[in-house]
Structure 1
Amino acid sequence: MSLSADLWAANSDLASRILSHGFVRGLREGSLPIECFKGYVAQDAYFLEAFARAYAFCLANSRSREDLYGFAGLIAGVLQELKLHKGYAERWRVDLDGVAPIEATRAYVDFLLETARRGNLGETIAAMTPCMRLYAFLGRSLAANSVAKLYSEWVKTYADPGFEALAAQLEALLDLHAQDTEAVRAHYRRAMELELGFFAAHI
């Protein structure tokens, strides 16, 4: 089993908790209050900007031309997500300028950027991979059943094979650059815990 697959399996308990969380159920059922989703969109846009910066640290610490291509493509994927959020913001009048991060967002952003600034490429990728793999997992899981129209665009985005390809690309970089160390496992686990906290903060 690859390291990325082993880490995902080792954190399946948190993935299951997130899938069954009221926020995610509300996306599938269409029962999540719009105000909760609007708050999530604003905070997630703030987070994604930091996520792109963490990728930039990875790019700066990359070791080969192929790494440069890989991280540049992953940054482009984040920019596409931000365009999706901009569409939500325009539709539901969410102000994405000057977003004040809530505690859950700040904790996740600080964790990512502090890890990235230390310059250990494998540990940084380990801190970033859970976000991509988790969202691909949520998208596919929700799309496997009927989804209410209200949030179907969100589900469709993360169920898309293109997003799965980005998650797999990051996992390949994890397998290439990370060692199976206590720090790598701790960073992966911490990111999953912060994902759960992020969803919990919006319901």
Structure 2
Amino acid sequence: MDFTQQLWQDISPVYEAILDHGFVTELLSGTLPAATFQYYIQQDALYLTDFSRVLSQLAARAATPDDMLQFAQFAQNAILVERVLHETYFSLYAIEPETAKMPACFAYTNYLLATTSLQPVAVGAAAVLPCFWIYREVGKFIYQQAIRENPYRSWIDTYAGEAFDQSVSQMLTLTNRFAEQASVSELEAMRDAFRMSSRLEWYFWQDAYTRHRWQV
């Protein structure tokens, strides 16, 4: 079992909770209210902008040109997906852009920005990995069961697609290589970072499902 497989085994209860979450089950069945999906896409667009910054930070701090290039390509892809959200999904689902991050988005992006700027690159890689990996697995899970006429088919096809699958595989390979070179303390920090980001993935969907907003 390689290091990333160990990470996945560790967060299996979190992943099962995500699959059982009302947002995911209703997205799969096509019954998710349009207003709920609108909230989610608005927050996801804001998240992806900061996610690109996070990946750019890793590129700037990476030790080798190959790693710099890989993280830079990931950062570019995040911005391209954000543009797709604005140009395609926002139009397709009649969604207006949002400028304010709600609690889960705020917590998640700030955690990633802090981790990738203050912690070793290996820990930062583990922190960003759930956004790649969990989305791929959820996308494939939904794709295998969703009806063809699902109103959210465009979103489903994106995260179950070959291009995204390739990016996830590249990120897994990179994280495993970092783990091979990491100290014992760094490995533990990587586990903690992966676990925290996985939990924040659940909270991101929870906020969308409840359309959670700042209370005060």
Using the size of structure 2 for normalisation, the TM-score is 0.89
| Matching residue of 2:83 | 83
**Deviation sequence 1:38-94 (CA, Å, 0-9, x none):** 010010110111110000011001111211221122123212321331111123332
Alpha-carbon contact 1:28-1:152 (below 8 Å) kept = no
| Matching residue of 2:157 | 156
Aligned counterpart for 1:202 among listed residues 191, 197, 208 = 208
Deviation of residue 153 (structure 1)?
1.0
**Deviation sequence 1:140-184 (CA, Å, 0-9, x none):** 111112334201111110101211111111111111223362211
Partner SS, residue 95 of structure 2: coil
Counterpart residue identity of residue 85, structure 2: H
**Deviation sequence 1:72-122 (CA, Å, 0-9, x none):** 2212321232133111112333232x5101111111011000101115100
1:126 aligns with 2:132: no
Aligned counterpart for 1:182 among listed residues 175, 188, 195 = 188
| Matching residue of 1:107 | 107
| Matching residue of 2:33 | 33
Partner SS, residue 96 of structure 2: coil
Alpha-carbon contact 1:61-1:119 (below 8 Å) kept = no
RMSD: 1.4
Mind listing any 5+ residue stretches in structure 1 that lack a counterpart?
Answer: none
Q: 1:34 to 1:107 in 2, by over 3 A?
A: same
Using the size of structure 1 for normalisation, the TM-score is 0.94
| Matching residue of 2:95 | 94
C-alpha distance in 2 between matches for 1:190 and 1:41: 22
Runs of 4 or more above 3 Å deviation:
none
Instruction: Please show how residues 63-74 of structure 1 align to structure 2 within 5 Å.
Output: 63-74=63-74
C-alpha distance in 2 between matches for 1:18 and 1:119: 27
C-alpha distance in 2 between matches for 1:43 and 1:110: 14
Partner SS, residue 150 of structure 1: coil
| Matching residue of 2:168 | 167
Alpha-carbon contact 1:57-1:119 (below 8 Å) kept = no
Partner SS, residue 131 of structure 1: helix
Deviates more, 1:141-150 or 1:62-71: 141-150
